[in-house]
Amino acid sequence: MKLLALLAVAVLVALPFVVGSYVVTVLIFIFFYAYLGQAWNIVGGYAGQLSAGHAAFVGIGGYAAALLSAHAGLSPWIGMWIGGALAALLGAVIGYLGFRFGLRGFYFVLLTVAFAEICRVVALNVDAVGGALGLYITFTGNPRQFQFQDNRAYYYVALVLMLASTALVRSIERHRFGAYLTAIRQDEGACEALGVDTLRVKMRAMILSSFLTGVGGTFYAFYLFSLQPNAVFGIPLSVEIIIRPIVGGAGTVMGPILGSFILSPLAEISRTYFAQGGWNGAHLIVYGLLLIAVVLFLPQGAYPALLRLARRRP
């Protein structure tokens, strides 16, 4: 019921006034990764074009906004759209090369990884963008520079990002565009036979997805105050982006959110309880086992499993 959804949102809005800064930080990352996951969901979930290189878009968006802020004094509130546009440009290039040349499945995955790695190596070696040292953002707490003295302000920005992207995906799902995406994922050949311009549809999905991810890059840069090529273009970040929607259910509206709400607290709890002893790395073993368990027991994702459970009730 819409009422319950509104209630949930109200709870989330009220939460920062009740809980401490640590929980707020954990929730910020939950929302932020849900946002990135939702952006990925458009092209990776709905359209079924698995990209494991989305970190490239985060990086480009973040670097663009950070450089514009440092060298041109441009507020990141404006810079983030430019960053998003540049990321969308790269997305268009990758999309065109991949889709035009008919790369499917694992081949497309590897194309996206290759581009992300190229971005990473270039960023490591070009002094103008900071090289391996990366870019550092001065902490001023000035909202005009997309910085806040209070952690809770970031919370609301991240919450808005998550809700807005979810609303967008929900809207896509209900319109023809969404139907096309799902159809392409299920059987692209049939779509083409029916006269759908699959290249155009996929390109739109890719551009939208990379644009949104690029915008997220600005949040990343101005929340973590530094951009290092290995961290922000690297495969581990791409992995973090995709595991949440996959666990939650790729190609569903609630998948990225559910996945994020499951995985982030599990990672935190795992690290808190297993990382104190002398066994460094035990918490990540636990986390890996959890991922395996999710795949074995919820092979369609958490959200579809939940729906099935709900439907079984009389």
Partner 1 sequence: MDPTLIGQGLLSGFLFGGVYSLMAVGLTLIFGVMRVVNFAHGDMMVWGMYLAWMLSVRAGIDPYVGFVVCAVALFLLGLVVQRGLVERIVDAPHEMQILLMLGVALVLENAALVTFGPDPARVRSPLSQATVWLGPIFVDLARLLTFGLAMALTGALWLFLARTDLGRSMRAAADNPYGARVIGTDVRKVYGAAFGVGAACVGAAGALVSPILPFQPTSGLGLSVTSFNIVIIGGMGSLPGAFVGGILVSVAESMGAVFLSPSMKELVSFGLLIAILLFRPAGLFGKTAG
Partner 2 sequence: MSSGNKSTNRRAFLKSAGAAAGLTALAGFPAVLRAQAPTFKVGVVHPVTGPLAEPGQACRLGAQMAADAINAAGGIKGLGGARLELIFGDTQTKPEVGRTEAERVITQGAQMLMGSFDSGSTAAMVPVAQQRRVPFLVDIAAADPITANVAKSVREGQQKVQYVYRNFPTGSSFGRKAVQYFGEVFKEANVSPKRVVLMYCNDLFGQNNAKGFQAAHAAAKPSWEIVDVIPWPEPPQDLSTEVSRAKAAKPDIIAPITRPASAQLLLPEIRKQRLDIMGIVGPGSPGLYEAGQIAVLKEDLEYVMASTPWANFRNPRTQKVAEDYLKRSGGKTFDTNSGYSYDGMSLIADILERAKSTDPDTIVESMKKTNYANGLMQYAGPIVFDEIGDNPNAVTTMIQILGQKAVAVWPKEAALQKFVFPRPKR
Residues forming contacts to partner 1 in the complex (CB under 8 A) are: 44, 48, 50, 52, 97-98, 101-103, 105-107, 109-111, 113-115, 117-118, 121-122, 124-125, 235-236, 239, 242-243, 246-247, 250, 279-282, 284-285, 287-292, 294-296, 299-300
CA-based radius of gyration for the chain: 20
Q: Which does 26 bind (CB under 5 to 8 A by kind): partner 1, partner 2, none?
A: partner 2
In the complex, least distance from residue 264 CB atom to partner 1, rounded to whole angstroms:
16
The values of phi and psi at residue 254, to 5°, are -90, -10
Q: Which does 113 bind (CB under 5 to 8 A by kind): partner 1, partner 2, none?
A: partner 1
**What is the spatial distance between Cα 161 and Cα 163, in angstroms, rounded to a whole number?**
6
The count of other CB atoms within 10 Å of the CB of residue 93 is: 13
Maximal C-alpha separation, the chain: 64
DSSP 41: I
Token couple for 210: 């990379």
Q: Which does 314 bind (CB under 5 to 8 A by kind): partner 1, partner 2, none?
A: none
In the complex, least distance from residue 281 CB atom to partner 1, rounded to whole angstroms:
4
In the complex, least distance from residue 89 CB atom to partner 2, rounded to whole angstroms:
26
Q: Which does 14 bind (CB under 5 to 8 A by kind): partner 2, partner 1, none?
A: none
Residue positions counted in the chain:
314
- What number of helices (H) and strands (E) belong to the chain? 14, 2
DSSP 42: I
CA neighbor of 262 nearest in space, from 235, 308, 296, 294: 294
**What is the spatial distance between Cα 98 and Cα 205, in angstroms, rounded to a whole number?**
13
Q: Are residues 34 and 254 in contact, defined by beta-carbon separation less than 8 angstroms? A: no
In the complex, least distance from residue 286 CB atom to partner 1, rounded to whole angstroms:
9
AA letter at 80:
M
In the complex, least distance from residue 292 CB atom to partner 1, rounded to whole angstroms:
4
Q: Which does 231 bind (CB under 5 to 8 A by kind): partner 1, partner 2, none?
A: partner 2
Q: Which does 173 bind (CB under 5 to 8 A by kind): partner 1, partner 2, none?
A: partner 2
Q: Are residues 21 and 151 in contact, defined by beta-carbon separation less than 8 angstroms? A: yes
AA letter at 193:
A
Interface ranges with partner 2 (CB under 8 A): 1-2, 4-5, 7-8, 11-12, 15, 19-27, 29, 121, 124-125, 131-134, 136-142, 147, 149-151, 173, 223-226, 228, 230-231, 236, 252-254, 257-258, 261-262, 265, 268-269, 271-272, 275-276, 280-281, 283-284, 306-307, 309-311, 313
